[in-house]
Chain A
Amino acid sequence: MAVLNVNPTRMELTNLKRKLVTALRGHKLLKDKRDELMRQFLELVRENKALRIEVENAIKQANNNMALARSVMQNEVLDVALMMPKQQMQLEIEKKNVMSVLIPKYKAKFKTSDKNDIYSYGYAFTSSDLDDSIKALSDILPKMLRLAEVEKSCQLMAAEIEKTRRRVNALEHIMIPQYQETIKYITMKLDENERSNTTRLMKVKDMMLAEALQGSR
């Protein structure tokens, strides 16, 4: 493992030790964040899958009815029937913070509260299959919105998990070992300096003693 390119001084050592403590703490926190995000993500993604299958089946059903309607009605009649919708839907978005990921919550607001306003036509010239089709879609609409909510949340969380995982890995496998190695290197170097200093002092002392002995003779 590569040792950082630093001077082996006591000051660097203190700095590095402080950095290592921060890195370890950050690593632990990020790991917790990743685990919790992952738990919530898996829950959401399971719901996402179930909802998607349900919604797709319902839409398929509605489309089948629509195909029947189209086969018994003239195109123009169908166009006219759906040209001027009475109902209008708008969404209110609430943002929810899950582990620093903002996920949306949709709340549907309808222009008219009357349930029958989804039929924007008189029943005289249209087939009942069209009614069935529209009813089926209207029933599944809340599920579709929930699906949108869940699917978007999954996408946003997946991106965040990926980012967090990279950070955790970088800390765990690069930063922390690097700091530890460098701290070890500096400690060794300082100890070595200490020892060589002691040896030098002992040597000097010996030389001075020998000189003093010679002088006294």
Chain B
Amino acid sequence: MHRVAVLGDKDSIYCFAALGLEIYPTEDPNAAVETIRKMANQDYAVIFITEALAEKIQDEIDRYRDRMEPAIILIPGVVGNTGMGLLNVKRAVEKAVGSDILN
């Protein structure tokens, strides 16, 4: 059985606890990197992370792009949508096709 975690500032992710996801409130990039590393070695299948936090640890997230587990998925936080999630989709298209053809 695999677990699902949510990472980000407390206000953005607190509600997910009620749904049965595990929440790890943090705003510190270093702490987040450490948590993700720990999760990657355990049985976490999906990690939702707020865009605001993801922006600061882009390198760490990119390390898991080509791996099956964990899938790190960006979600918007309370501060609003930064468009980074869609940017990541665009990046995947660019990697595969050579240029962004979805517009």
Which A residues lie at the B interface, using CB under 8 A?
38, 41, 45-46, 48-49, 52-53, 55-56, 59-60, 62-63, 66-67, 70, 78, 82, 85, 87-93, 95, 102, 104, 106, 109-111, 118-120, 130, 133-134, 137-138, 141, 144-145, 147-149, 151-152, 154-159, 161-162
Contacts and interface: CB of A to CB of B under 8 A. Distances in A.
Contacts, number: 136
Interface string B72-103: 01011110110001101100110111000010
A144 B48 contact: yes
B97 A104 contact: no
Contacts of B86: 49, 52-53
Contacts of A137: 15-16, 18-19
For chain A, what secondary structure do more than half of its interface residues adopt (helix, strand, loop), or is it mixed?
Answer: helix
A53 B77 CA distance: 14
A109 B88 CA distance: 28
Given A52-B86, A70-B11, A156-B66, A59 B95 contact: no
Contact of B1 (A87, A91, A138): A91
